[in-house]
Amino acid sequence: MVSAGDLPLGFGRQAFGADPAGYHAARPAYPDATWTVLGQQAGLKQGIEVLEIGAGTGLATGPLLAHEPAHLLAIEPDARLAAFLATNHANPRLTVIQQPFEMVALETHSVDLVVSATAFHWLDAIPALVRLEQALRPGGAVALIWNEFGDPQRHDAFHEATRHLFAGRASSPAAGDDTRVPHSLHSEARRDDFLAAGLIPDAPQYLSWTLTLDVEGARRLYASFSNVTALPYDERERLLDGLANIAATAFGGRIERNMVTAIHTARRNS
């Protein structure tokens, strides 16, 4: 039984692999504008060397490969996710390494762009960024992106209607609450992490959009969240049944979640 508080960082290495295909289908894609921002601020373009950390099932890997990098090295610690990634995104430009990031040997000045999509909060940020600063070529960039489920600037009726189901439960280290800004939206903290690692941060970019789901889509999405996968099976099913019931009865089977895609980029100076 997982108690209240933050889930440990190590939990992210096993939280999502029970059903890779289900996870991949349940999670929303990143908006197309995400990759435009990475082109403008982080040098995403054809022919570069890309490193992806916590690639999961490849929700970011696919769009990165579409830009035809010379090579994309994807690091994924969960063997189940790594196998799905290698099969689902089979490409001669892609190499998948199934290892924790901390154990992967990185060559100095070997990478033009590092990307981590809704994953970097599972790492100890500053030591990880120090490693990346050393791996980047001069002028190379780090891009940390998140799909944030919730926009502080917009009322989220479904979140309010279901938040009691999560009271007293553990949460992801990325989560916000009444006293804490969500990890992806805490621009000052992300800037300070970059600066502590010797990187030069850009102004963060935030893309607001709306995710529309039916009852089954909502159930699949929430089943993919780390704080739900952490629960014992029976408890998890009760929670998901409760969510589905609220979606069906109080929202007519159609819910909207206010989304923000947060993009934090920084560059190696020399």
**Cα dihedral 43, 47, 51, 54 in deg (nearest 10):** 90
CATH number at residue 215: 3.40.50.150
Q: Say which amino acid occupies 137.
A: R
Number of independent structural domains in the chain: 1
Range of the domain at 68: 5-267
What is the Cβ-side half-sphere exposure of residue 118, based on CA atoms within 13 angstroms? 23
Pairing of strands 254-267, 200-201: antiparallel
CA–CA dist 144, 146 (Å, integer): 7
pLDDT tens, per residue, the chain with 270 residues: 333 468 988 998 888 999 999 999 999 999 999 999 999 999 999 999 999 999 999 999 999 999 999 999 999 999 999 999 999 999 999 999 999 999 999 999 999 999 999 999 999 999 999 999 999 999 999 999 999 999 999 999 999 999 999 998 889 999 988 788 999 999 999 999 999 999 999 999 999 999 999 999 999 999 999 999 999 999 999 999 999 999 999 999 999 999 999 999 999 987
**Cα dihedral 136, 140, 142, 147 in deg (nearest 10):** -140
* 160 and 151 Cβ atoms separated by less than 8 Å: no
Three-state DSSP at 141 gives strand
